[in-house]
Structure 1
Amino acid sequence: MGQVEPLRKMGRQTSPKSSSKDAQSLAIRRASATQVTPTAAALGEDGFIMVESEQVLSYHRSGLDAASLRRLQQGHMRPSLFADLHGYRVEQAREVVWRAIKQAQAEGDRCLLIIHGKAGAGYTDDSGDIRGAGQALLKSHVSHWLQQVGEVLAFTSALPKDGGTGAVYVLLKNSRKTR
């Protein structure tokens, strides 16, 4: 075998190692580290109900046709954006959910996937005590918040391949951009 020479770079462009979905998720996570927007902060806790970790979530606004809801439940409306809430505290997760909805609308997307997980190890309160161990804290909050956002037409637990009861498909109203 002869002498080996390295290839010269001739204006080649290499693709990034991460996928565009990873880049979108990273962008959402980075944006969540900034201040809470007044609108996201307005997502209140009134009427908050804790749900079970394996409970199937399903919600739709009146007026949504049954066919659209069925397509969402069966995973036929593929999400073009996703937000993974693993590792976030409740306040951080609220901001990530809000930003994901706003980003999807800005890009003209109608369906997104929010991965909230099923149950956690709990959280440490101000006194240092662990609270909520084994409860589906983020899942419960996500369900509660999504019902408060006017742009959300429906949400339902995802198919097992997309996270099952640890994630939800969210259907948004058509944004003005796509009309």
Structure 2
Amino acid sequence: MTSRKNSTGKIISAEDSELFRRAIDESWPVEDSTSLNKRDLNFYDDHTQEHPSTNKHSSTLSTKDAGVLRDEGDLFYRSGVRKQTLKNLKRGRLTICDEIDLHGYTKHEAIHRLHHFLSKATVTESGCVRVVTGKGRSSPSNYSVVREATLSQLRHEPRVLAYCITIPSDGGTGALYVLLSC
């Protein structure tokens, strides 16, 4: 076997290609690739945090309301969000009405504060708030547990119409623009 290029132009070794083929050998396509998968909906798998559908602070998402998840979770939007609005959100062109910084909190504290913030947030016409999670660089594994929990919680919040990472000058991958319904 020889090396070859993938769709992005990166060279893939024969070993990596064979490993990938073996890994997906018994896989099958999902029925609806635009909705959230079970892993995303079951983020709350530890016994210390309830799933949002049983949490008194959150409402249940129906399959219809699940939305679209793209770019490895960095972009989420529900049906009905206009393309132009989503484009403006991704480019940082919407006025930010409010902001919350979740640095330094545990996963559970951050989720509680986020839920409280979203329920109290008053938004203007743009409906945009910024949520700062940090990138997790100071954590032992360079992985932001707060960021992952925040992304999951935002998908379960009924007021959240869309979210995406911010432009670099607003925090880049350490922050999110969140579009809320009024």
Q: Give the corresponding residue for 2:75.
A: 58
Q: Alignment identity in percent?
A: 27
Q: How does 1:89-128 map to 2 (within 5 A)?
A: 89-105=106-122, 110-122=127-139
Residue 152 of structure 1 pairs with residue 160 of structure 2: yes
Q: Is the alpha carbon distance of 1:94 and 1:121 closer, same or farther for their aligned partners in structure 2, counting shifts above 3 Å? A: same
**Alignment coverage as a number of residue pairs:** 118
1:92 CA drift (Å):
0.6
Q: Is the alpha carbon distance of 1:40 and 1:72 closer, same or farther for their aligned partners in structure 2, counting shifts above 3 Å? A: same
- Gaps spanning 5+ residues in structure 2: where? 1-54, 62-71
Q: How does 1:24-35 map to 2 (within 5 A)?
A: none
Residue 170 of structure 1 pairs with residue 178 of structure 2: yes
> Is this contact kept in 2: 1:120–1:137, CA < 8 A?
no
Could you state the TM-score of these two structures normalised by the residue count of structure 2? 0.58
Q: Give the corresponding residue for 1:24.
A: none
Query: What is the root-mean-square deviation of aligned Cα atoms in Å?
Result: 2.7
> Is this contact kept in 2: 1:118–1:165, CA < 8 A?
yes
> Is this contact kept in 2: 1:81–1:113, CA < 8 A?
yes
Q: Give the corresponding residue for 2:57.
A: 39
- Gaps spanning 5+ residues in structure 1: where? 1-36, 44-54, 123-131, 175-179
Residue 141 of structure 1 pairs with residue 158 of structure 2: no
Give every structure 1 segment of 4 or more consecutive aligned residues whose post-TM-superposition deviation is greater than 4 Å: 40-43, 106-109
> Is this contact kept in 1: 2:59–2:156, CA < 8 A?
no
Query: Equivalents in 2 of 1:56, 1:41: separation in Å?
Result: 21
Report the secondary structure of 2:96's partner residue. coil
State which structure, 1 or 2, has the greater radius of gyration over its C-alpha atoms: 1
Letter in 1 for 2:111: R
Report the secondary structure of 1:39's partner residue. coil
1:136 CA drift (Å):
2.2
Q: Is the alpha carbon distance of 1:56 and 1:75 closer, same or farther for their aligned partners in structure 2, counting shifts above 3 Å? A: farther
Query: Equivalents in 2 of 1:162, 1:57: separation in Å?
Result: 15
Letter in 2 for 1:166: G
Q: Is the alpha carbon distance of 1:134 and 1:42 closer, same or farther for their aligned partners in structure 2, counting shifts above 3 Å? A: farther
Q: Is the alpha carbon distance of 1:98 and 1:107 closer, same or farther for their aligned partners in structure 2, counting shifts above 3 Å? A: farther
Could you state the TM-score of these two structures normalised by the residue count of structure 1? 0.58
Letter in 2 for 1:58: L
Query: Equivalents in 2 of 1:109, 1:99: separation in Å?
Result: 20
Q: Give the corresponding residue for 1:84.
A: 101
Q: Is the alpha carbon distance of 1:170 and 1:86 closer, same or farther for their aligned partners in structure 2, counting shifts above 3 Å? A: same
Letter in 2 for 1:155: Y
